[in-house]
Chains A and B, each alone.
Chain A
Amino acid sequence: MSEQLERTPLYDRHVAADAKIVPFAGFEMPVQYPTGITAEHRAVREGAGLFDVSHMGEFVVRGPQALELIQHVSVNDAAKMEVGQAQYSAMCLEDGGIIDDLLIYRFRGHYMLVVNASNLAKDWAWIERQSEAFECELEDVSERTGLIALQGPAAREILRPLASIDVDDVKYYRFSEGSVAGAPAVISGTGYTGEDGFELYVDANDAPRVWDALLDEGSGAGLIPVGLGARDSLRLEMGYALYGSDLDEQHTTLEAGLGWVTKLDKGDFVGRDALLAQKEAGVVRRLVAMSLQTRGFPRPGYDVTHGGEVIGKVTSGTVSPSLGIGVAMGYVPTELSKPGTMLQIDVRGRPIEVAVQRAPFYTGGSIKR
């Protein structure tokens, strides 16, 4: 890899905090701090954690047909959104394969799409091509946008004195425009941990100042910086799918458990015909959550078996720091996807019993829906 890695506006903060830096989606990102993944995970479940997610991509869509473009590329129904609302969705290829999952924000005069860093270039090329048929403008504001996630049961009280708005007005999947520590910010009631919390979009130049102010304010409440390692175990405990692991172009939203955001009756969109056909013919494989019945560490790529036959692969897996048991996700045939179905995961040559279950694995989160 000769490609130059990018850095987020908070890179210097991570280095100063002695984080272990790894390449991720083209960025040099902190995978953990000296506290370690388990301690960072616990901090978010019990107090609060601060995440640098500035590597995510942000596209602004404006113009008379901005909504029409979004309706064309997104599987969810953006027409249902009010100003100040955020919506989870996905973009599909014509064959229904998932290009990316994303968040859509409706502002007064424009929309913002937030996409995975690993898909930023692909998504931009895709949306730009689709936009030719619509009267709208696209702008990639990723580089000048810093994104900080503040997550945990203590997040609300940490943000309260620093925010220009009443944080209690920011409901789940809603956002307000205001400022944090004096810096203009979009304060969004979203996250990827299952805990109460916020995602703060700020100018890249302001990101270090906001980061410092939050850590300072939160130190008494146990706020610590949290790396990508704990971000992954936190989302996995909630059964949230991750693009590149659980979601990809080889699987459709219906297979990936994203039927709830796939609005087949909203009108035409890219992938709708294929998804409709798949729904009518029957979805033959599904992404499921599985919990290990005995000790074992299910790692991505391990075989999922039933009666000695390989029926799928683990797409995400870890030992849940909160629950102390192995938890995994993977695609299995629909007839074996019902909660309560017993399957096995081949852990280094040893078949370990797993039970298919409903997500989330962890039900103690402080998230306020």
Chain B
Amino acid sequence: MSDIPSDLRYTEEHEYLKAAGDDAVYVVGITDYAQGELGDVVFVELPEAGSSFNRMEVFGTIEAVKAVSDLYCPVDGTVVEVNAALDDDPSLVNSDPYDTGWMIKLRVDDDDEVRGLLTSDGYADHVG
């Protein structure tokens, strides 16, 4: 069974959003389920801080041993920080997806959009 923390929000594309403390800023990464499906992550390509993305726009890619997959921006927003540690150790995405394996911090344009995402129960149903 994969880990699905109850205090996060999720997308059907297997990303999570976690409140970063600061208003309207969320930590974005991929779920434990997603990292398990992908297998060993070889590297992660992330955008520059300051770039803006619309919901469902590709903001990066994950290259794993088995496959490459795009990262979709879960809601409209602007990247305020990227996880530079993934450059040196992309395996953090596998070993610690919800903490040190995060990908970007996103200042969202509209907080209501976040509340419209899946809850942990909804995501658990989604991954079956």
Contact = CB atoms under 8 A, between A and B. Distances in A.
Interface of A: 32, 36-38, 229, 233, 295, 297, 299, 318-319, 348
A336 B47 CA distance: 35
Contacts of B94: 36
A352 to B, nearest CB: 12
Interface string B65-95: 1101000000000000000000000010010
Secondary structure of the A contact surface, majority rule: mixed
A319 B63 contact: yes
B42 interface: yes
B39 A297 contact: no
Contacts of B66: 229
A41 to B, nearest CB: 9
Interface residues of B, number: 11
Given A32-B39, A297-B42, A297-B43, A37 B68 contact: no
A36 B39 contact: yes
Secondary structure of the B contact surface, majority rule: mixed
Interface of B: 39-40, 42-43, 61, 63, 65-66, 68, 91, 94
A36 B63 CA distance: 15
Nearest first, the 3 closest Cβ-Cβ pairs linking A and B are A297-B63, A319-B42, A38-B40
Q: Which of A233, A318, A319 gathers the greatest number of chain B CB atoms within 10 Å? A: A319
A295 B43 contact: yes
B65 A38 contact: yes
Contacts of A348: 61, 68
A100 to B, nearest CB: 26
A270 to B, nearest CB: 37
Contact of A36 (B40, B43, B68): B40
Q: Which of B61, B63, B94 gathers the greatest number of chain A CB atoms within 10 Å? A: B63
Contacts of B65: 37-38, 229, 233, 318-319
Nearest to B61: A348
Contacts of B63: 297, 319
Contacts of A295: 43
A125 B66 CA distance: 33
Given A36-B94, A38-B91, A319-B63, A299 B40 contact: no
A299 B43 contact: no
A131 B126 CA distance: 57
B39 A299 contact: no
Nearest to B40: A38
Contacts of B43: 295, 297, 319
A297 B39 CA distance: 15
